[in-house]
């Protein structure tokens, strides 16, 4: 249906925001639309826009809800700073990215 490279994955994104006393993060649910290699239909990825958490915190499932639930179980007792230990450095790199519109 879609002409992608072998390692490409096309996904539709559903986004949630998790608020906690120690901070917040987004959780993006990737609904796999096309991929030769993906073994699951949905992947939940904790992120801060410029940085994703390690894959050990990703949730997987056959629905958005099951992937989100799996992810929330994995990150329940994990602090935001543990999920994103290099966040400050990631923002510095993001801020120094050249503007492609210039």
**pLDDT by residue (tens digit) across 57-77?**
999 999 999 999 999 999 999
**Tokens read off for 54:** 């390690």
In a domain, 65, yes or no: yes
In a domain, 56, yes or no: yes
Report pLDDT for 1: 77
Report pLDDT for 86: 75
Report pLDDT for 18: 96
Whether the CB-CB separation of 24 and 45 falls below 8 Å is answered with no
Q: Which pTM value belongs to this model?
A: 0.82
Question: Which residues in the chain come in under a pLDDT of 70?
Answer: 87-102
Give the domain extent around 28. Answer: 9-95
- Residues recorded for the chain: 102
Report pLDDT for 50: 82
Alpha-carbon torsion 51, 57, 58, 64, what sign? negative
In a domain, 32, yes or no: yes
Facing residues of 17 across strands? Answer: 26
In a domain, 100, yes or no: no
The total of structural domains in the chain comes to 1
In a domain, 45, yes or no: yes
């Amino acid at each position: 249906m879609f002409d992608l490279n072998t390692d490409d994955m096309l996904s539709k994104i559903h986004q949630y925001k998790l608020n906690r006393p120690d901070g917040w993060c987004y959780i993006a649910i990737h609904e796999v639309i096309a991929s030769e290699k993906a073994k699951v239909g949905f992947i939940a990825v904790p992120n801060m826009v410029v940085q994703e958490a390690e894959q050990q915190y990703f949730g997987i499932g056959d629905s958005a809800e099951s992937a989100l639930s799996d992810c929330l179980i994995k990150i329940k007792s994990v602090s935001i700073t543990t999920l994103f230990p290099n966040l400050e450095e990631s923002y510095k790199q993001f801020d120094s990215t050249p503007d492609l519109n210039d």
